[in-house]
Amino acid sequence: MAWPFSWGVWGSWAGLDAGQPVGGLQLLALALLAGQLDGARTWQRGAWLGGLFATAMMCATFWWLFISLHVYGGLAAPLTVAAIVLLSALLGLYYAAASGLFVALAPGAPWLRAVVFASLWLLAELARVQFFTGFPWGEGGYAHVDGWARPMAAWVGVHGLSWMAAFAAAWMAFCLLATPTRWPAFIAIAMLGAGLAWLPVYNAGTREPDPALAKPMPVTLLQGNIPQDEKFVSGTGVATALRWYGEQLLGARSALVVAPETAFPLLPHQLPDGYWQALQSRFASGEQAALVGLPLGDYETGYSNSVLGLKPSPPGQAAEAAYRYDKHHLVPFGEVIPTGFHWFIRLMNIPLGDFNRGVVGQPSFGWQGQRLAPNICYEDLFGEELATRFVDAARAPTVFVNVSNIGWFGNTVAIDQHLQISRLRALEFDRPMIRATNTGATVIINRLGEVTHSLPRHTRGVLEGEVQGRSGITPYAWWVGRFGLWPLWIFGLAVPGLALVFRRRG
């Protein structure tokens, strides 16, 4: 949950900036829901309360879809509002089912009821992550990227943090609703949470001394701030992008320069004569490399949302083929059209709206001893997919590179939400994350999830800084890379299953 206010007495009173995660508000909201469910007499009543809560939560989380669908996509305002509410309600069905089951299964002791509530809540979150391509934006664990559960991120990941938050909120609610003799348990869990916040963040370290990782890499991150309504217009946004990004790429002096998602909104063969060849020649020699976002493909084979890597070939070797990363996790209705929904897309104007899917676990971009792992836009929401690159420690990424275009959603809290998502990925994997975006947030995040360098959002600029690569594997990277989310599914299903068994015996 993020602080919604950015000005006036509200922001100064709370001492918070807009978009800053506030885990306490989320705990309060979950505690109120758990208390309401604890008093529900029927599972139908519980399902209604949980579904209503989740629908409101989703609408408040990604209301900014209105900007992409209506302002830039051209969908009529009433249809846009209906689409967002319908999407929220459909996702809310997971939480409605979890809440109804809780009312039906909850055991007697407050802490046991809290375990059941948290496990069912976890199942709802996992369903939102994986079913129907997944849309886990705003998952509960992200509210605690700066909070008491932060040190546990490298052990259990964002989904584990979601379980911990739901458990803590429910246990405190159930203790307060019980007799005063239960209140010491409320104090105990509050103290335990405060104690967790003082634990150090996990340090994966390095298995072997690596000279390449001992030296920070200078990087240049580009933020073109091309207006979204001009980005694909040849006379305005396209021309500006070609001129500005071309100048910055040709003039950069850092070891690595990164341009954002679809920095060039044209296929390579559509670029002006000699343009792409000049960029290839620029990075064919010397000590600089580049990662550039642009679409690739053709009408016959299909298109992909991609990143190309340009770097010099080793001395004495033939020129290497350009590195290529194709986005795997595509955005429904924005990058891939689900079967049966082409009629919906025809109501909007979204260029390049149907891409081919890349494979999971694509190789990293090797440069100056670093293994740079690109991911595009909201791919960094799916940590379990990023983790597949960590199964082989010798090939595991040393730095994450996110290229994004959040210009579709205006100057809204979506930028802040995506930043917190990237920060939590850094904590989970003990890896820095560098982000080059069109409108923000263009930042450098260290392994502790801290923003060390940043550009003001919705400005055109160049961010220069250094990034310190890392090796070693966190516990979360180890188990989720090998087993995916199955351990969480098994745990989440086992708890209510046992509750059902004991309830029948009782």
- Residue 332 tokens, joined: 């429904």
69: left (phi over 0), alpha (psi -120 to 50) or beta: alpha
Q: One of 327, 335, 379, 384 is an active-site residue; which one?
A: 327
Cβ neighbours around 253 below 10 Å, total: 11
Whole-angstrom Cα distance, residue 260 to residue 126?
Answer: 29
Burial zone of 359 (CB within 10 Å; 0-12 exposed, 13-18 middle, 19+ buried): exposed
How far, in Å, are 87, 91, 311, 476 from residue 135 at the CA level? Answer: 10, 9, 35, 21
Of 377, 379, 384, 428, the catalytic one is: 377
Active site residue 327: yes
End-to-end CA distance of the chain: 38
The tally of CA atoms less than 13 A away on the side-chain side of residue 95 is: 27
Per-residue HEC secondary structure of 437-464 comes to ECCCCCEEECCCCCEEEECCCCCCEEEE
CA gap 264, 73 in Å, rounded? 20
Active site residue 261: yes
Strand duo 370-376 + 399-404: pairing: parallel
Q: Are 256 and 367 in contact (CB under 8 A)?
A: yes
Burial level of 428, CB count in 10 A (0-12/13-18/19+)? buried
Say whether 335 is catalytic. no
Distance CA 47, CA 99 (A): 5
What gap in Å lies between CA 303 and CA 171, rounded to an integer?
50
DSSP string, 263-316: SS-S-GGGSPTTHHHHHHHHTSSSS-EEEEEEEEEETTTEEEEEEEEE-PPPTT
Q: Exactly one of 261, 384, 385, 428 is catalytic; name it.
A: 261
Q: Which residues are catalytic?
A: 261, 327, 377
